[in-house]
Amino acid sequence: MGMLSPDFYYSSVTAIDLAVLRQAGVRHLLIDLDNTLMPRDSSEVPPEVRTWVNALPDTGMNACLVSNNWHAHVASVADGIGLPIVTRALKPFPPAFRKGLRVLGGTSDTTAVVGDQIFTDVLGGNLLGMMTVLVLPQSTSDLPHTLLLRRAERRVLAGREPLA
């Protein structure tokens, strides 16, 4: 499944072993917002995720949000957790990922994409040669087309369980 296969698969962002990513040369994270850092249709980042984001600089990493969402609340969420954001990303297409790389001063070989969807986050990161980290979605609520893609994702992930 090459381009659809994540390098790592975790139950949530807070379960990601950042030391493993650092050992692999990752210094920058391009992170999805909806259903990755917070449940879809929410404006609140859970406290444990806020703590995780706040700890990133202590691990020597910086981050930028990359979201297909364009609604006004996503910019205020990004401001609230102190991260830059690229909206209207049209993932998996490369331009928004490249913009995120520029914002962070990163390159494909020093950056990982973190998200909850194979056909947007994982595929987009793999297209640019970045490390990819898939997390379970925080909510079962999703757009109709995403729910359809979730069925295909289950086939791609058949037999694979999150590391933690």
Q: Which of 117, 119, 93, 101 is nearest to 26 (CA)?
A: 101
Domains of the chain: 2-156 (3.40.50.1000)
Mean local confidence (pLDDT), 33-37: 94
DSSP string for residues in 82-111:
T--EE-S--TTSHHHHHHHHHHHT--GGGE
pLDDT tens digits for range 98-141: 999 999 999 999 999 999 999 999 999 999 999 999 999 987 66
Least confident of 7-16, 79-88, 138-147: 138-147
Residues 6+ apart with CB under 8 A from 104: 28, 30, 62, 63, 64, 84, 111
